[in-house]
Amino acid sequence: MKKFNTLFKYESVALAKSRWLWIYLIAFNLILFSLRYFSNDPQQLFVSTMNSVLFFHSIGLLLFSTLSWQNNSEFISLILTQPIERKTVFLARLSSFCLSIGISTGLSLILQMGASLHLHESVRLLVSQTVIEIIFTGIGFLLAIQIQDRLKAMAIAAAVILLFCLVLDGLNLWIIINYSAYPLEKLILGLSSLNPLALLKYQNLANDESSLWIGYAGLLLRRAWETGFIKAISSLALLLWILTPISVAWMRFKRKDF
Amino acid sequence: MIEIIDLSKSYGEKTVLNKLNAKFEEGMIHGILGPNGCGKTTLIKSMLGLVHIQNGDVLLDGVPLKSCREKVSWLPQHPEAPRNTTPQELFDFIEDLRGEKAVFKESLIREFEFAKELAKPLKALSGGNFQKCFLIATLMFDVPLIILDEPTVGLDPVAAARFKKILAERSKTTTILLISHITSEIEQLSDKVHFLLEGQWAFSGHVKDLENQTGFEDFESSIVHVLSQRREAYSEKV
């Protein structure tokens, strides 16, 4: 535990001194401030903030976590020659990264939006933000561990972002527009299971009127959500998304030749 | 005493180390030489447990080296640490991680005139001072085995001379593996040289023995001779 604490502290100090973290935090705060400033409807504010948290935070985290690991790969080799287990190195790096980002962006969210949103909405956003941090830090670490070439890793990270933010959503929309006469709930949910951002969106919006803010898909979802099966499958898919990238990243790290 | 027994490592179909055996006696500087890609770095990384070997053992006084890493200190060829941290933070971090006091830290800081660099971020250090920082981090512990990969790269002549003096002093009580492409440095510092070629030792012994064996009077010509002989033998075999 002492070794974990030592590495955790050192990594956290290095992250706190990173100018990229501060640039990211300023951008994140600017987005939250603009949303709060330009939005009058509290429900619209919740949906807009949720979308910003989902998309901006996932993009930022994926790029930042990939870069952070790649920039420190030689240092990680050096640490691994010290009397410390690989498991401790992985866990300390993961937790220092997730906690540093989580605390700084979580505080930004509470300070900017706490007064304008209901308590349950703020809690939902904080939970979504935490889930995104775990999923996308896991994917970022996995890409960096698996791919030595920095440019190639960044290109694949960009492709993953494009897939989650644009391609899968676009495909859903295309199916809804072209096949609206058919029962689509299960197909849409199946496709959405491939996208953790869509799953989080559904978890946040399916229970109330906010679902209408995501259009026809929201309407379909709200109807289907009332059957517990869809809710359970969606929650299970999200749980798999939380566990899989980190587990695979750890298995690759354990077997990696440095 | 370091013993390497039947060490084998392949990357895919490429065999880098093929049942390699060696003994590095204690209290000596062992120079390890070899052309690019001959397996020097893989050998060191296999010893340290950074790469997973297919077969073999590396023992330090009879104990597997990977289970007593607190007894080893390594300077990689391209050392790195978060550039926004300071040398002082790095030294404290490594001390804390090893749970051990760095007994030679203060004297090394004095020898390398490094005190005024301690509070600067690593990114603000010159190439030479950056290398000094990691030399101090490597040499500051009293360990039985020190592995140095190209240690004098970037050092000015004064710092390089001081480093050689420190190394000669430490070698009285410590086994030192010195990897370098600078043959004059290996010749000057090493008690024994080990020449690695295509995953096998082409020569292992004292510098004088090598010169006697090849008939050349200088170390560099002897090395070139061994290298060309081995290459000819390899071509004939292929």
Residue-wise pLDDT for B63-97, tens only, equals 888 888 899 999 999 999 999 999 999 999 999 99
Q: What is the pLDDT of residue B141?
A: 94
Please name the residue of chain B whose CA is at the shortest distance from the CA of residue A81.
B48
- Does the structure show a pLDDT above 60 at A23? yes
Q: Within 13 A of B65's CA, how many CA atoms are on the CB side?
A: 28
Q: What is the pLDDT of residue B146?
A: 95
In this complex, the residue of B45, B68, B69 whose CB is nearest that of residue A258 is B45
Q: What value does the mean pLDDT take over residues B213-231?
A: 79
Band (pLDDT 50/70/90 cuts) for residue A92 is very high
Q: To the nearest whole angstrom, how far is the Cα of B192 from the nearest Cα of chain A?
A: 25
Residue B12 contacts A where some CB pair is shorter than 8 Å: no
- Residue in B84, B88, B140 to test binding to A, most A beta-carbons within 10 Å: B84
Q: What is the pLDDT of residue A216?
A: 58
Q: What is the pLDDT of residue A207?
A: 64
Measured between alpha carbons, how far is A217 from A168 in angstroms, rounded to an integer? 13
Residue recorded with tokens 């008939």 = B215
Q: What is the pLDDT of residue A212?
A: 57
- Does the structure show a pLDDT above 70 at B199? yes
In this complex, the residue of A14, A74, A255 whose CB is nearest that of residue B79 is A74
Please name the residue of chain B whose CA is at the shortest distance from the CA of residue A69.
B82
Amino acid at A129: Q
Q: What is the pLDDT of residue B67?
A: 84
User: Is B49 in Cβ contact with A82 (below 8 Å)?
Assistant: no
- Concatenated DSSP letters of B36-68: TTSSHHHHHHHHHTSS--SEEEEEETTEEGGG-
The CA-CA-CA angle for residues A97, A99, A100, to 5°, reads 65
Beta strands B14-24; B2-11: pairing state: antiparallel
Q: Kindly state the tokens that stand for A240.
A: 């798999």
User: Is A75 in Cβ contact with B81 (below 8 Å)?
Assistant: yes
Q: What value does the mean pLDDT take over residues B21-25?
A: 91
Cα A77–chain centre separation: 27
User: Is A72 in Cβ contact with B97 (below 8 Å)?
Assistant: no
ipTM of predicted assembly, 2 dp? 0.88
- Residue in B8, B46, B50 to test binding to A, most A beta-carbons within 10 Å: B50
Within 10 angstroms of residue A163's Cβ, the number of other Cβ atoms is 14
Please name the residue of chain A whose CA is at the shortest distance from the CA of residue B122.
A14
User: Is A82 in Cβ contact with B98 (below 8 Å)?
Assistant: yes
User: pLDDT, tens digit, for every residue of A147-181?
Assistant: 988 889 999 999 998 898 888 888 888 888 888 78
User: Is A13 in Cβ contact with B89 (below 8 Å)?
Assistant: yes
Q: To the nearest whole angstrom, how far is the Cα of B157 from the nearest Cα of chain A?
A: 27
- Does the structure show a pLDDT above 90 at A214? no
Q: What is the pLDDT of residue B218?
A: 80
Angle between helix A228-255 and A86-113 (nearest 10): 140
Return the closest-CA partner of residue A50 out of A164, A233, A204: A204
Per-residue three-class SS string for B87-155:
HHHHHHHHHHHHCCCCCCHHHHHHHCCCHHHCCCCHHHCCHHHHHHHHHHHHHCCCCCEEEEECCCCCC
Q: What is the pLDDT of residue A194?
A: 87
Least confident segment among A98-107, A206-215, B136-145: A206-215
Residue B27 contacts A where some CB pair is shorter than 8 Å: no
Q: Kindly state the tokens that stand for A154.
A: 């960044």
| Backbone angle region of B56, left / alpha / beta, with phi > 0 → left and psi within -120 to 50 → alpha | left
Band (pLDDT 50/70/90 cuts) for residue A96 is very high
| Higher pLDDT pick, B232 / B49 | B49
B237's enclosing H/E stretch is helix B219-237
Measured between alpha carbons, how far is A248 from A257 in angstroms, rounded to an integer? 16
Amino acid at A23: I
Contact partners, residue A230, CB within 8 Å, separation at least 6: A185, A186, A189, A224
User: pLDDT, tens digit, for every residue of B103-116?
Assistant: 999 999 999 999 99
Q: Using an 8 Å Cβ cutoff, are A113 and A36 in contact?
A: yes
Q: Using an 8 Å Cβ cutoff, are A205 and A218 in contact?
A: yes
Residue recorded with tokens 């093929």 = B18
Contact partners, residue A173, CB within 8 Å, separation at least 6: A217
Q: To the nearest whole angstrom, how far is the Cα of A155 from the nearest Cα of chain B?
A: 24
Q: What is the pLDDT of residue B235?
A: 66
Measured between alpha carbons, how far is A159 from A173 in angstroms, rounded to an integer? 20
Please name the residue of chain A whose CA is at the shortest distance from the CA of residue B83.
A14
Q: What is the mean pLDDT of chain B?
A: 89
Please name the residue of chain A whose CA is at the shortest distance from the CA of residue B10.
A257
Return the closest-CA partner of residue B89 out of A14, A73, A69, A81: A14
Cα-based distances in Å from B174 to A122, B23, B148, B177: 60, 15, 13, 10
